[in-house]
Amino acid sequence: MLPDLGRSLELRGTRLRRHKASRVAVFTLLMSAGVAFGAEPKEWLARMNHALTSQNYVGVFTHVQGGRVETLRIIHRVRGRDVSERLVSLDGSGREFIREGNELICYFPDRREVLVERRAPDGLLLGALPAIDEDNSSVYEIKGGERQRLLGRDTRLVALQPRDQYRYGYRLWIDEKTAMPLKTQLCNQSGDVIEQIVFSNIDLPERISDSQFKPQVDASTYRWFRADRQVADNSAQSDWGATRLPPGFRMAQRSAQAMPGSSEPVAHLVFTDGVASVSVFVEPRKADLKPTEGPSRVGSSSAFSTVVDGHQVTAVGEVPPTTVEFFAKQVKASKTQQPAPAMGLAPQRK
Amino acid sequence: MTEERDSQLSAMFDGELPGAECELLARRLSRDEALRAQWSRFSMIGAALRAERGVALHDRVSQRVQTAIAKEAAYGDGADTGATSSQPVPATPVSVKTASNARWARLMRPVAGASIAAGVAALSIMWMRTDVGGPDPMLASTSAEASAAESIVLTPEAAPSTLASNTPGASRAPSNGEPDVYVTPAPSTSPGIAPPARLANYVVAHSEYSGPLSRRMALLGLVAADSENATPEQAGSAQANDNADAATGAADAP
């Protein structure tokens, strides 16, 4: 009697499980239809860009790069056209970056220094989202879009793969519901991961108070450095340009700015392929400082310095080392207008 | 005991509680206020889920289970098995089997549905807990949860290790002590910014012209890696300068 009962219970259990499984399947189908049917990887990228720039979020993530792991908090607030962002290291250095209005304030408690970077008032940063279009589809390939489970959420894995060695690619795990990138990998052309960001939690609060954009350090006794961006009115400075560019890159901006440690404005040229960007800084070389030459790195940013016509030239970007070297070596002072890199450029000369 | 009941409840929510236990628990729900409270907490979690995932399924499930409980309460008056609340749920009481097939199926149907979101439900508990503090403004140090309109609940992966060196001088007084006087821009003789730091300045300036992703990556590079680049002598001299300048409050440089 009893064994019989046991079997019948078991059978019932099996039926139930089958029942449950079919419900899960139906549910999954419904979700697919509602949320993501027909969405291409490209659309997911667009959604992600929108999510990253148009809404409030507060999150904690780990950043892994070159064997180092750092936990950081990001607080991002959008109020109309005002975007505020705070990035705080939760380990060790206590470094913070707070962007409000057109100022980016960098706190370096370990150096007891504060760097204030000011963007040009007409800076089009908000609108300058990376975009894949006809211009750069020849240099990036967008792949993926398949669903992957990550951290208990449904995500879409989208890969932005470089077609050549001049740029890095991204692998993005984009949350289906919120379009936030829960995990981001920076990869080289062969797919090796160079850098990784993984969120451990994200909130999307409706409001974020001003108090959350205050630094956690008392910086009143630190050394403050201010780098004011200026309209480029120094013709000698703004005539710098690149003679040749890697495929897909164009010059996006040319300006001169004051830099801590420089008595004269530094020419700042920005090149982009729509996703990656490279800055080239040019300043007159000082006789008392020995010239900097060769490659260096800051995190996953590559840099290459060289001396051209008595000027210190440094190219910096989230691109492979060979790319910044290419840029640094192609930058030349010219008395004549450089036609090649002038796409979309509004020269800021007097 | 409470713990056990919680796990039973959660198993029921998951659709994984054996039928007979489910039956018993449903009866107990009709009697036990604390357990009902717990159930409604689960329902709230369901609501959170619904808000998060845009699916109304869960609430319906909850309602149906509530209905089942109500009916169960009516049945329960006469047909109580006598299991008191202090007793662990016995394994498959025979008396339940014949009479309760229909009820059991009725009850179990929605619960099976509930299991769809059960994986997330467990996580939502975490969410509920962190959100209990309400819209308390985040104090600069630990709690990142502001009044969350929406929360992405992620299962914790490997706990992040903290490798960064502990650097001194990071006093955590919550104040933005921006002075009136800036170093604008420091002359070339300034001892403050030496080449590695200059590179950092470049990266900062560059970051303003990167896309949202690469910009963040660029700044992240600064958070971690730059401390490696700073040479000891540089750090030392900066420290010395700061000590000297600290009295004046503002920054320095001739």
Residue A62 CB partners (closer than 8 Å, separation 6+): A69, A70, A71, A72, A197, A198, A200, B160
| Mean pLDDT, range B172-184, rounded to an integer | 38
Of the two residues A40 and A244, the one the predictor is more confident about is: A244
The reply to whether B94 falls in a domain is yes
- Cβ separation B92–A268 shorter than 8 A: no
Q: For residue A213, give the chain B residue with the closest CA.
A: B140
Residue-range domain boundaries for chain A: 41-212, 230-333
Q: For position A314, what pLDDT does the model report?
A: 93
Of the two residues A200 and B51, the one the predictor is more confident about is: A200
| Mean pLDDT, range A302-324, rounded to an integer | 91
User: Which residues does chain B have within 8 Å of residue A73's beta carbon, measured at their own beta carbons?
Assistant: 144
| Mean pLDDT, range B34-47, rounded to an integer | 55
Q: For position B226, what pLDDT does the model report?
A: 46
User: How far apart (Å, rounded) are the C-alpha atoms in residues A222 and A229?
Assistant: 22
Task: Report yes or no: B177 at the A interface, CB cutoff 8 Å.
Answer: yes
Buried b (16+ CB within 10 A) or exposed e, B117-154: bbebbbbbeebbebbeeeeeebebeeebbbbbebbbbb
Last residue of a domain, one of B112, B131, B150: B131
User: Which residue of B176, B180, B242 to mutate against A (max A Cβ within 10 Å)?
Assistant: B176
What residues of chain B, 66 to 95, have a C-beta less than 8 Å from chain A? 92, 94
pLDDT in tens, A214-234: 998 898 888 888 766 554 444
Task: Report yes or no: B240 at the A interface, CB cutoff 8 Å.
Answer: no
Task: Report yes or no: A199 at the B interface, CB cutoff 8 Å.
Answer: yes
Q: Give A284-290's long-range contacts (Cβ < 8 A, gap of 24+).
A: A284/A310, A284/A311, A284/A312, A285/A310, A285/A311, A285/A312, A286/B188, A288/B188, A288/B189, A289/B188
Q: For residue A203, give the chain B residue with the closest CA.
A: B151
Of the two residues B132 and A81, the one the predictor is more confident about is: A81
User: How far apart (Å, rounded) are the C-alpha atoms in residues A344 and A261?
Assistant: 31
Phi first, then psi: what are they for A330, rounded to 5°?
Answer: -95, -10
Whether residue A19 is predicted with pLDDT greater than 80 in this model: the reply is: no
Phi first, then psi: what are they for B4, rounded to 5°?
Answer: -65, -40
Last residue of a domain, one of B83, B100, B131: B131
pLDDT in tens, B80-131: 334 333 344 333 333 333 334 444 333 333 333 232 222 222 222 222 222 2
> Which range is most confident: A141-155, B34-48, B184-198, B199-213?
A141-155
Contact A171, A159 (CB under 8 A): yes
**How many Cβ atoms from other residues are within 10 Å of residue B181's Cβ?**
12
- Residue A196 β-bridge partners: A64, A185
Instruction: Judge if B14 and B95 occupy the same domain.
Output: yes
Instruction: Judge if B15 and B96 occupy the same domain.
Output: yes
pLDDT in tens, A150-174: 888 899 999 988 999 999 988 999 9
Q: For position A320, what pLDDT does the model report?
A: 92
User: Which residue of A83, A224, A253, A275 to mutate against B (max B Cβ within 10 Å)?
Assistant: A224
Instruction: Judge if B211 and B127 occupy the same domain.
Output: no
Task: Report yes or no: A207 at the B interface, CB cutoff 8 Å.
Answer: yes
Task: Report yes or no: B178 at the A interface, CB cutoff 8 Å.
Answer: yes
User: How far apart (Å, rounded) are the C-alpha atoms in residues B100 and B25?
Assistant: 13
Residue closest to A260 by CA, chosen among B184, B178, B97, B57: B184
pLDDT in tens, A93-104: 788 889 887 788
The reply to whether B146 falls in a domain is no
ipTM of the complex: 0.71
The reply to whether B178 falls in a domain is no
Note the Cα A24 to chain centre separation in Å.
37
The reply to whether B48 falls in a domain is yes
SS3 A243: coil
User: How far apart (Å, rounded) are the C-alpha atoms in residues A262 and A228?
Assistant: 12
Instruction: Judge if B118 and B226 occupy the same domain.
Output: no
User: How far apart (Å, rounded) are the C-alpha atoms in residues A315 and B202?
Assistant: 9
SS3 A196: strand
C-alpha dist (Å) from residue A46 to A132, A134, A153, A252: 9, 15, 20, 21
CATH of domain A41-212: 2.50.20.10
Domain span at residue B242 reads 195-246
Whether residue A211 is predicted with pLDDT greater than 90 in this model: the reply is: yes
Of A93, A253, A292, the CB nearest to B167: A93
| Mean pLDDT, range A128-138, rounded to an integer | 57
Q: For position A143, what pLDDT does the model report?
A: 87
- Cβ separation B19–A227 shorter than 8 A: no
Q: For position B7, what pLDDT does the model report?
A: 66
Q: For position A305, what pLDDT does the model report?
A: 92
| Mean pLDDT, range B210-225, rounded to an integer | 63
Q: Which CATH class is domain A230-333?
A: alpha beta
Q: For residue A130, give the chain B residue with the closest CA.
A: B211
Last residue of a domain, one of B78, B96, B131: B131
Task: Report yes or no: A325 at the B interface, CB cutoff 8 Å.
Answer: no
Number of A:B CB contacts under 8 A? 403
| Mean pLDDT, range A82-89, rounded to an integer | 87
Residue closest to B53 by CA, chosen among B121, B125, B129, B5: B121
The reply to whether B57 falls in a domain is yes
Task: Report yes or no: A166 at the B interface, CB cutoff 8 Å.
Answer: no
Domain count for chain B: 2
Q: For position A246, what pLDDT does the model report?
A: 92
Of A112, A117, A263, the CB nearest to B204: A117
User: How far apart (Å, rounded) are the C-alpha atoms in residues A73 and B126?
Assistant: 19
